[in-house]
């Protein structure tokens, strides 16, 4: 089945312009027809407006004249919009009945989202996280061509978020339907997305594959607290004496606190730029567990006190946030061999 | 018989009027709740007019309009051979105009209270606008419909001035209970007036009490 067309990734074009008072949206971008695309930007940047345009809920210059019910779009709102007079089963089957086709079985979706015990409840008796799971199940059973998620975790407290996130992981892993996931949390994006669109004041600032985007130093939105990369690594063995797991990635090994299942390949490790420092020589007698030989790939002068330095390790990249003074003192230059000290690694999935 | 006849006619009139108001008032209320048209205030004003106008003013214009030489009345005579004034049908039309705001406003309030995104979710789940109205908007507005029915019914039951102007006092046709009471008082027949007044008083109390109880049960859920 390896035809030429299957090798070229299919793209979904998104072209939308609209004016709302002083705010204008002008988007022309394409997203992969598979996987999760993160739509990342501050509140007021036009993320929700873009989703509403895609869904046909917003007046604007839209070449698509179909009414919302004809578009095959699944929309997960920030606040789950369930029908209060129907029980959970009727809610999740509402779209299924109207879709005329079923790509997924009700039972499979109920199981996937853990709704078995909730089916005869009314939406008023559900917690925020449960209601959001019901809304997601309803959207999945509608067999949409594209799913839009507008900060589905934003209205939940941290505990409910942690409860719902594994279900979103499963959507990512088990579904072939493309998802656009709106967020202003870089952590959620790093965990759930494969592709990233950055949006500011109604315009696309940059877009591309997640790992590559995070390794870019020239995007102000990805500087500061958001700076850092994601590398894929596979847990190899657990050291029970110290409760550390050894992960292997293209550039070597990383020790991460906690125990991780070695049967899951390609877990995502998030390394924030503020947790990476650079040494000219291999540091001796340090408390930092992870010291990796690396090459300086690029230095982005910011003009302020801190610079961003991209380090190439194997096929992966780390970004280090270091003071401009250190860059001068150590005379760091592109192509130099250095050692990266990684203070903290977060397992994102 | 003297007592129950007019009462039964009143109930019949109120029932038919309420039914017609459901059919006519629901689309008007829905349109008013959803529109962003600049004509909305004008439309709202027209619907609300019967609340402030004296029934005699309304009755006077309806008498002209429905009369054998009026715009609607002459057309009706051509169509059926009968006059609309001083007939039950004429009373129904007059009552619908008179009670329209009492049915439309509770429904409109209920529709306006619907969360916009819930409707949008229904559309995105594949429902046409009509489908979404019947499957989501209407069931979520049950309290508005109950209030509209009760108020429309009760208000029609209590009307006097308009009926007097348009319907007159024909037993079995237009002699509703409020007219009959007035008539009995005029002829100093206080006994019959008492009977009918008390029945009406009790009826109004029971109907309104039932509505408030139902509302309380719904909001407690």
- The mean per-residue pLDDT over the stretch B12-33 comes to 96
Distance between CA A342 and CA A292 in Å, rounded?
8
Q: Of A75, A79, A124, which is closest to B124 when you measure between CB atoms?
A: A75
Low-confidence ranges of chain A (pLDDT < 50): 1-5
The pLDDT-based confidence of B3 (bands split at 50, 70, 90) is: confident
Distance between CA A336 and CA A55 in Å, rounded?
49
The pLDDT-based confidence of B187 (bands split at 50, 70, 90) is: very high
Q: Over the Cα atoms of chain A, what is R_g? A: 22
- Cα B57 to Cα A11, A86, B53, B98, B155: the distances in Å are 67, 47, 6, 11, 17
Gap from B131 CA to chain A (nearest CA, Å): 10
**CATH class of the A4-226 domain in this structure:** alpha beta
* Cβ–Cβ < 8 Å for A126, A179: no
Distance between CA B105 and CA A137 in Å, rounded?
37
User: B126 and A142: CB-CB below 8 Å?
Assistant: yes
H helix runs in A100-251, sequence order = 106-112, 128-141, 158-174, 186-192, 210-214
Gap from B129 CA to chain A (nearest CA, Å): 9
Gap from A255 CA to chain B (nearest CA, Å): 46
CATH superfamily name and code, B4-220: MetI-like (1.10.3720.10)
Residue of B nearest to A80 (CA): B118
- Give the side-chain half-sphere CA count within 13 A for A189: 25
Beta bridge partners of A253: A248
User: B131 and A73: CB-CB below 8 Å?
Assistant: no
User: What is residue A4's predicted lDDT score, i.e. its pLDDT?
Assistant: 47
User: A138 and B117: CB-CB below 8 Å?
Assistant: no
CATH number of A228-347: 2.40.50.100
Helix (H, G, I), strand (E, B) or coil at A344: coil
- Who has greater pLDDT, B221 or B39? B39
User: What is residue B135's predicted lDDT score, i.e. its pLDDT?
Assistant: 97
Q: Of A55, A99, A135, which is closest to B126 when you measure between CB atoms?
A: A99
User: What is residue A48's predicted lDDT score, i.e. its pLDDT?
Assistant: 93
Interface test with A, best of B124, B128, B131 (most A CBs within 10 A): B124
Flag whether residue B127 sits within 8 Å of chain A, measured between CB atoms.
Answer: yes
Parse chain A into domains and list their residue ranges. Answer: 4-226, 228-347
Using a CB-CB distance cutoff of 8 angstroms, which residues of chain B are in contact with residue A67?
123, 128-129
Percent of chain B with pLDDT over 70: 97
Distance between CA A92 and CA A104 in Å, rounded?
12
* Cβ–Cβ < 8 Å for A28, A15: yes
Flag whether residue A46 sits within 8 Å of chain B, measured between CB atoms.
Answer: no
- Give the side-chain half-sphere CA count within 13 A for B68: 5
**pLDDT of B221 higher than 60:** no
Return the number of other C-beta atoms located less than 10 Å from residue A268's C-beta. 17
Parse chain B into domains and list their residue ranges. Answer: 4-220
User: A68 and B120: CB-CB below 8 Å?
Assistant: yes
What's the length of chain B?
Answer: 221
Gap from A60 CA to chain B (nearest CA, Å): 16
User: What is residue A1's predicted lDDT score, i.e. its pLDDT?
Assistant: 40
User: What is residue A2's predicted lDDT score, i.e. its pLDDT?
Assistant: 41
Which of B98, B99, B88 has its CA nearest to residue B168?
B88
User: What is residue A6's predicted lDDT score, i.e. its pLDDT?
Assistant: 52
Flag whether residue A57 sits within 8 Å of chain B, measured between CB atoms.
Answer: yes
Which of B158, B121, B155 has its CA nearest to residue B137?
B121
Flag whether residue A84 sits within 8 Å of chain B, measured between CB atoms.
Answer: yes
Gap from B25 CA to chain A (nearest CA, Å): 23
Using a CB-CB distance cutoff of 8 angstroms, which residues of chain B are in contact with residue A71?
124
Residue located via tokens 């054998």: B68
φ, ψ (nearest 5 deg) of residue A255: -100, 130
**pLDDT of B102 higher than 90:** yes
The pLDDT-based confidence of B218 (bands split at 50, 70, 90) is: low
Cβ contacts of B195-201, under 8 Å, gap ≥ 24: B195/B3, B196/B3, B196/B6, B196/B7, B199/B3, B199/B7, B200/B7, B200/B157, B200/B158
Strands A36-40 and A23-32, bridge-based pairing: unpaired
| The model's pTM | 0.86
Q: Of B115, B128, B129, which is closest to A81 when you measure between CB atoms?
A: B115
Using a CB-CB distance cutoff of 8 angstroms, which residues of chain B are in contact with residue A82?
118
* Cβ–Cβ < 8 Å for A62, A14: no
Beta bridge partners of A209: A195
Contacts of B189 (CB under 8 A, 6+ apart): none
User: B124 and A73: CB-CB below 8 Å?
Assistant: yes
Predicted confidence (pLDDT) per residue in B128-161, tens digit: 999 999 999 999 999 999 999 999 998 998 888 8
Q: How open is the CA angle A224-A230-A231, to the nearest 5 degrees?
A: 145
User: B125 and A71: CB-CB below 8 Å?
Assistant: no
Three-state SS sequence of B63-108: HHHHCCCCHHHHHHHHHHCCCCCCCHHHHHHHHHHHHHHHHHHHHH
């Amino acid at each position: 089945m390896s035809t030429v067309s299957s090798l070229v990734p299919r793209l979904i074009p998104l072209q939308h312009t609209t004016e709302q008072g002083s705010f204008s949206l002008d988007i022309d971008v394409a997203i992969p027809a598979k996987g999760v695309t993160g739509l990342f930007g501050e509140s007021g940047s036009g993320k929700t407006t873009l989703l509403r345009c895609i869904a046909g809920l917003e007046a604007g210059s839209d070449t698509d004249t179909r009414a919302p019910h004809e578009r095959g779009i699944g929309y997960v709102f920030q606040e789950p919009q369930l029908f209060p007079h129907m029980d959970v089963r009727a809610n999740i089957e509402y779209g299924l009945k109207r879709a005329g086709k079923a790509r997924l079985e009700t039972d499979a979706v109920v199981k996937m989202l853990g709704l078995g015990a909730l089916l005869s409840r009314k939406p008023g008796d559900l917690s925020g996280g449960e209601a959001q799971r019901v809304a997601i199940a309803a959207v999945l059973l509608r067999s949409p061509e594209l799913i839009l998620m507008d900060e589905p975790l934003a209205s939940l407290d941290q505990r409910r978020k942690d409860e719902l996130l594994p279900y979103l992981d499963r959507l990512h892993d088990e579904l072939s339907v493309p998802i656009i996931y709106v967020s202003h949390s870089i952590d959620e994006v790093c965990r759930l997305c494969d592709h990233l669109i950055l949006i500011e004041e109604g315009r696309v600032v940059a877009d591309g594959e997640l790992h590559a985007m995070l390794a870019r130093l020239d995007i102000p939105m990805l500087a500061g607290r958001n700076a850092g990369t994601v590398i894929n690594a596979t847990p190899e063995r657990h050291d029970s004496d110290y409760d550390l797991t050894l992960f292997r990635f293209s550039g070597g090994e990383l020790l991460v606190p906690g125990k991780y299942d070695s049967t899951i390949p390609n877990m995502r490790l998030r390394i924030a730029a503020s947790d990476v420092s650079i040494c000219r020589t291999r540091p001796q007698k340090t408390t930092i567990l992870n010291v990796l030989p690396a090459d300086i790939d690029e230095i982005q002068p910011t003009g302020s006190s801190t610079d961003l330095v991209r380090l190439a390790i194997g096929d992966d990249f780390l970004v280090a946030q270091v003071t401009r003074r250190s860059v001068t003192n150590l005379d760091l230059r592109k192509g130099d061999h250095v050692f990266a000290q990684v203070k903290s690694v977060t397992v994102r999935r | 018989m003297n007592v129950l006849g007019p009462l039964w006619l009143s109930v019949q009139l109120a029932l038919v009027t309420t039914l017609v108001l459901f059919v006519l008032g629901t689309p008007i209320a829905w349109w008013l709740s959803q529109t962003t048209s600049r004509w909305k205030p004008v439309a709202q004003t027209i619907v609300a007019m019967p609340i402030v106008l004296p029934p005699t003013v309304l009755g006077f214009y309806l008498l002209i309009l429905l009369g054998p030489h009026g715009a609607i009345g002459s057309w009706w005579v051509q169509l059926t051979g009968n006059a609309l004034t001083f007939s039950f049908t004429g009373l129904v039309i007059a009552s619908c105009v008179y009670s329209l705001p009492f049915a439309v406003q509770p429904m409109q309030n209920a529709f306006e209270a619907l969360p916009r995104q819930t409707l949008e979710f229904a559309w995105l789940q594949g429902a046409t606008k009509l489908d979404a109205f019947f499957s989501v908007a209407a069931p979520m507005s049950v309290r508005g419909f109950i209030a509209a029915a009760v108020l429309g019914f009760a208000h029609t039951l209590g009307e006097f001035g308009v009926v007097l102007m348009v319907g007159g006092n024909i037993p079995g046709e237009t002699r509703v209970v409020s007219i009959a009471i007035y008539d009995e008082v005029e002829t100093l027949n206080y006994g019959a007036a008492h009977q009918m007044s008390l029945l009406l008083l009790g009826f109004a109390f029971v109907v309104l009490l039932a509505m408030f109880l139902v509302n309380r049960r719904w909001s407690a859920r």
